Amino acid sequence: MIIIDDLLTESEVAQFRQQLAKVPFIDGKNTAMGMAAGVKNNGQADAQDARVQQLANALLSKLGNNPKVISGALPQRIFPPCFNRYSESQTYGYHVDAAIMRIPNTPDVLRSDMSMTVFLTPKEDYEGGELVIQTEFGEQKIKCDAGSAILYPSSSLHKVTPVTKGERMAAITWIQSMVSDQHMRETLFQLDQSIQSLINTGNAEREQLDGLHHVYHNLIRQFAQV
Ligand code: NI
C-alpha cells in the first residue's frame, strides 16, 4: 500500500468539491458488478454528465503527472476516476474489485492491478467511512487527509465502514500496470524510492547513481509489458 500525500492542493480539493456539489448523483449499485452490488450503498456522480467527465479528466492528469503514482503503479492504463459520496449510515461491505473493466466509450478494457482512493473530505468533517483493506498482516484502516490518496492491490478484499456522522466524498480509480506481478512492482518501487532518497542526500557520486539507474531501467525493460 502506498500513501500519496498532497496529490491535490487545498484549493484543488475545494474546486472539486464545489463542482461536485452541482452535479447529479446516482445510486452506486448501478455500477457495481455481481456480488459487489449487494453490499454497496453509496452515491456516485453521474459519469454521463459532461461536468463529471471534466472533473474525471482533471484528476486523471494529476495522477498521470504524479511521480509517486508513476513509480508505485507504473501505469499503462488508468480508468476514468469515479466520484462517490457516502452520506450518514451509507457503507460498502467487503468485496473484491472486478479484474477486467471496460473503459467507458472506448473499445478498450483494463485489468485492475491497483485500486486507488483519493480522499476529498477533510477527515475531521465525518466519522466512520474508513477504508479497510485486508492484508497478509491483518486489517489496515485508512482515512487520509483531503487531497491525499492511497494505492493498494486490486486483488485485496476491502470495504468502507459506515459513515456515522457527516458525509464522505472520494474519487476512486483503477490502474493497469505495465508490471502485472505485484511483488516485482513493489521491488521496483522500493528501488526507485531508494535512488530518489540517495539523490536527495546529495552525497552520492554521479557514477554510482548512473549505475543504479542502469539497473532500474534494465529491470523495467525485462518485466514491463507494453
Ligand atoms: Ni472496491
Q: Is the dihedral of CA 158, 27, 111, 177 positive or negative?
A: negative
- Say which CATH number the domain at 35 has: 2.60.120.620
In this predicted structure, the answer to whether residue 95 has a pLDDT above a threshold of 90 is yes
In this structure, the answer to whether residues 49 and 137 fall within a common structural domain is: yes
Q: What is the pLDDT of residues 118-140, one digit of tens each?
A: 999 999 999 999 999 999 899 99
pLDDT at position 127: 97
Residue 113 annotated as lining a ligand binding site: no
- Say which CATH number the domain at 192 has: 4.10.860
Number of domains in the chain: 2
Domain that holds residue 200: 182-223
pLDDT at position 36: 75
pLDDT at position 23: 96
Q: What is the pLDDT of residues 177-196, one digit of tens each?
A: 999 999 999 999 999 999 99
Confidence of residue 29 (pLDDT cuts 50, 70, 90): confident
Residue 85 annotated as lining a ligand binding site: no
In this predicted structure, the answer to whether residue 34 has a pLDDT above a threshold of 80 is no
Residue 154 CA to ligand 1 centre (angstroms): 8
Residue 41 CA to ligand 1 centre (angstroms): 12
Residue 214 CA to ligand 1 centre (angstroms): 37
DSSP state of 30: G
Residue 138 CA to ligand 1 centre (angstroms): 18
Does the pTM surpass 0.85? The reply is yes
Closest CA to 116 of 77, 167, 161: 77
Q: What's the rounded mean pLDDT across residues 150-162?
A: 96
Alpha carbons within 13 angstroms on the beta-carbon side of residue 87 total 6
